[in-house]
Amino acid sequence: MSQVSSWSSPLYTTGVKRYRSPARWFHWLTALLIFAIVPLGWIFAEFKTKPNSGGHFEAPIPGTVATYASAHKTLGLLVFVLVVARLAYRFANKPPAFPGRISWLEAVVAHGTHWILYLVLLVMPVSGYIMSSGGKYPIAIFGLFDFPKLPVSQDVAKTAAGVHLSAQYAVYGLVILHVAGVCWHLFIHRDDVLSRMLPRQVNVE
């Protein structure tokens, strides 16, 4: 088995520069929360409740409207905190350079997609928070306590709801574009772009 770099090192044994451990954690935790929060939003916004069921959903996992809404809103606030922390780390720590085979156009698209995704992932929870502040239901944090609401009018809440819905589709498009870019580099270019965001690997000879 070949020697590997330390956990905090930005290099693989092959010399491929990679993101440091905190950046990788921010990335994968954000991705995990997004893939959890989206179906939760679909369920409590679209699924119908069964007659005489006490408000329980016809959903893969039984739960009430309040249960799904609380989970969705809580994860949304966590996404906001995580993205803010991730941006603070990003500004303080320069990301590794792309491999030499990356064209300037690919680099521009990659950077543009990342920054627009950061923006949308901030707009989504903020607009959701404003929308929920104008609603009649509390912003329950996993059912443990209620998060304070903003004093907003119904018109402002309605506008925020429209922004939240539009940002939802922006997230879909950006995530698809991001995954498509990964597949492009993995299967077409066959380069080490994906390796930059993976934990250290052990090369077995």
By residue range, what is the domain housing residue 138?
21-197
pLDDT at position 93 is 92
Look up the CATH number of the domain holding residue 78.
1.20.950.20
Amino acid (one-letter) located at 174: L
pLDDT at position 76 is 94
Residue 132 lies in a domain: yes
Residue 144 lies in a domain: yes
Query: Across residues 181-188, what is the average pLDDT?
Result: 83
Residue 204 lies in a domain: no
- Residues 42-66 pLDDT 10s: 876 766 555 555 666 666 666 777 7
Residue 25 lies in a domain: yes
pLDDT at position 196 is 83
Residue 15 lies in a domain: no
- Higher-confidence residue of 42 and 132: namely 132
Count how many domains the chain has.
1
% of the chain surpassing 70 pLDDT: 79
Residue 163 lies in a domain: yes
Q: Which of 73-77, 81-85, 95-99 has the lowest mean pLDDT?
A: 95-99
3-state secondary structure string, the chain? CCCCCCCCCCECCCCCECCCHHHHHHHHHHHHHHHHHHHHHHHHHHCCECCCCCCEECCCCCCEHHHHHHHHHHHHHHHHHHHHHHHHHHHHCCCCCCCCCCCHHHHHHHHHHHHHHHHHHHHHHHHHHHHHHCCCCCEEECCCEEECCCCCCHHHHHHHHHHHHHHHHHHHHHHHHHHHHHHHHHHHHCCCCHHHHCCCCCCCC
% of the chain surpassing 90 pLDDT: 43
pTM of the model: 0.79
Residue 1 lies in a domain: no
Residue 59 lies in a domain: yes
